[in-house]
């Protein structure tokens, strides 16, 4: 038997909720907010550009929050999450910001979220963003392993592959064809039911290994 | 402004739930199960003794679980926990075991719990216990700091004082008079309302510091 209890590390956007920036782009009609790290690989350049676009359109924190409050978790996500949380400690690892994620977290029953912070100025504008640390998802998984956990990580895109590789087990959920082809070492799930099967297997190793 | 988002690390027994071994002692009438680390400072000796007592009384895992299922969170604990979880990422750090804590976690809305594991044999007896790592609470707090969090820790007894000292802020909740006297550097709260005030202050530092 393995002495290390399991821990589930799971990405947020694309796994449990819609992509927040895409939704903001759609709801505000600002197409340039659709750009992602696929279009602008340098994250700082991408985020600085996004904040400039918001300022240029006189969009304040409360406007963005109003958009995000209209979003719901993906169909089936809450049931899946409740199921998983009753079986193992679970931490959501995301590149989003606490100030954005709050309404979605409430709809998900306030699971534990490790992400980043925004700096809001006196005029309710987003003045700056602060990454908690570089490679935050991968380092969180490494940290959990250092605390004696056997980590199962679930993600969907390029920025998740380092944490999937770091984890004891990694699963891609609804990845793009590119990501699935480039990282054939990770099993691919399209439905929450399939994820449940993989998680159940991972939890069992606790007793069978 | 501090760039480090806050994280709440909180002990379980005595803070959110009754002491599990005390409850098992009361419900089973086995007084020797009331012994704690105050009576037997060596944890391995204490736990090995507890497991021997369970075997001597032919108590199996399911018997202990049946006792634990009758326990409820402390009055007001669930409201407090829900309030805290909606404000900051929260992880419960405990020396208990996943197999014991499960029914109490369900009653608390399945928060994220870092604790230890039991090994159950084919006859449903507790064969052994596995600590995730030595000094698990303190090391978890150190790990969260290493992931870029500003940690507020809440505990009640000797085995919490290392994590309180490791954290950026530490609070004693309903400690014994001994612990409060020996660790005057930590503020003492008796009610969840007082804890809310301290937590609110800690969260504010995010924007005022």
B73-88 residue pLDDT tens: 999 999 999 999 999 9
Over residues A127-155, the mean pLDDT reads 96
The pLDDT score that the predictor gives to residue B208 is 44
pLDDT of A209:
40
Q: What is the mean pLDDT of residues A155-163?
A: 94
For A110, the closest of B86, B113, B143 (CB atoms) is B86
Average pLDDT of the residues in A130-136:
94
Q: Picking from A64-73, B39-48, B95-104, which range would have the lowest pLDDT averaged per residue?
A: B39-48
| B116 DSSP β-pair partners | B97
The pLDDT value given to residue B39: 82
Q: What's the average model confidence in pLDDT over A40-55?
A: 90
Q: What is the CA radius of gyration of chain B?
A: 18
- The average pLDDT across B159-180 equals 95
- Asked whether the beta carbons of residue B109 and residue A112 sit closer than 8 angstroms, the reply is no
- What is the least distance, in Å, from the CA of A192 to any CA of chain B? 19
Segment B29-50 shows an average pLDDT of: 88
Residue B207 has pLDDT above 50, yes or no: no
Which positions in chain A touch B9 (Cβ < 8 Å)?
none
Percent of chain B residues topping a pLDDT of 70: 97
**Whether residue B184 has pLDDT greater than 60:** yes
Question: End-to-end CA distance of chain A, in Å?
Answer: 5
| B12 vs A contacts (CB less than 8 Å) | none
To the nearest whole angstrom, how far is the Cα of A11 from the nearest Cα of chain B?
A: 15
Confidence of residue A125 (pLDDT cuts 50, 70, 90): very high
Identify the residue whose tokens are 């998984």.
A141
How many percent of chain B have pLDDT more than 90? Answer: 88
In this model, does residue B197 exceed pLDDT 70? yes
State the nearest Cα–Cα gap between A4 and chain B, in angstroms: 6
Taking any CB pair shorter than 8 Å as contact, residues of chain A touching chain B are: 1, 3-5, 82, 85-86, 89-91, 98, 102, 105-106, 109-117, 119, 130, 132-133, 136, 139-140, 143-144, 146-149, 206
Option in B82, B90, B106 nearest A86 (CB): B106
User: Residue B140 pLDDT > 70, yes or no?
Assistant: yes
Confidence band for B2, pLDDT divided at 50, 70 and 90: low
Cβ contact (<8 Å) for A112 and B91? yes
Least confident of A38-47, A50-59, A98-107, B137-146: A38-47
Residues from chain A that touch B89, judged by Cβ atoms under 8 A, are: 91, 112-114
Single out the residue of A97, A77, A79 nearest to residue A154, CA to CA: A77
Contact A147 B114 (CB under 8 A): yes
Residue B42 predicted with pLDDT over 50: yes
* B169-173 β-sheet, strand order: B126-130, B112-120, B90-97, B6-10, B150-155, B169-173, B188-189
Contacts of B112 (CB under 8 A, 6+ apart): A85, A89, A90, A91, A111, A112, B90, B91, B92
Mean of pLDDT values over A156-174: 96
Burial category of B65 from C-beta neighbours within 10 Å (exposed 0-12, middle 13-18, buried 19 and up)? middle
Q: In this predicted structure, what is the pLDDT of residue B180? A: 95
User: Is A13 annotated in the active site?
Assistant: yes
Q: Do A112 and B132 touch (CB under 8 A)?
A: no
pLDDT at B38 > cutoff 90: no
Mean pLDDT of chain B: 93
According to the model, what pLDDT value does residue B96 have? 94
- Cα three-residue angle B37-B123-B70, rounded to 5 degrees: 55
Asked if B5's CB is within 8 angstroms of A113's CB, the reply is no
| CA distance between the termini of chain B | 5
pLDDT of the residue at A2: 58
Nearest chain B residue to A131 by CA distance is: B3
Residue B55 CA to residue B93 CA, distance in Å, equals: 28
pLDDT in the model for residue A40? 82
Q: Does B11 qualify as catalytic in the annotation?
A: yes
Q: Is the dihedral of CA A24, A84, B85, B145 positive or negative?
A: negative
pLDDT tens string A56-79: 999 999 999 999 999 999 999 999
For residue B83, the distance in angstroms to the closest alpha carbon of chain A comes to 10
Put simply, the answer to whether A105 touches B117 (Cβ < 8 Å) is no
């Amino acid at each position: 038997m393995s002495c290390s209890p399991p821990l589930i590390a799971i990405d947020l956007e694309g796994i449990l909720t819609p992509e927040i920036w895409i939704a903001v782009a759609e709801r505000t009609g600002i197409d340039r907010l659709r750009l992602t790290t696929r279009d602008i690989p340098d994250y700082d350049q991408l985020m600085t550009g996004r904040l400039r676009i918001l300022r240029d359109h006189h969009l304040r924190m409360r406007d963005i929050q109003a958009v995000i409050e209209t979003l719901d978790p993906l169909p089936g996500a809450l049931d899946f999450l409740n199921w998983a949380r009753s079986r193992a400690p679970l931490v959501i690892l995301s590149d989003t910001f606490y100030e954005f994620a709050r309404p979605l977290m409430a709809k998900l029953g306030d699971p534990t979220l490790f992400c980043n912070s925004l700096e809001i100025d006196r005029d309710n504008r987003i003045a700056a963003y602060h990454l908690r640390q570089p490679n935050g998802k991968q380092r969180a998984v490494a940290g959990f392993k250092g605390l004696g956990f056997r980590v199962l990580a679930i993600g969907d895109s390029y920025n998740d592959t380092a944490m999937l590789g770091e984890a004891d087990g990694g699963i891609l959920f609804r990845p793009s064809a590119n990501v699935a082809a480039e990282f054939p070492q990770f099993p691919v799930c399209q439905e929450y039911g399939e994820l449940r099967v993989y998680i159940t297997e991972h939890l069992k190793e606790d007793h069978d290994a």
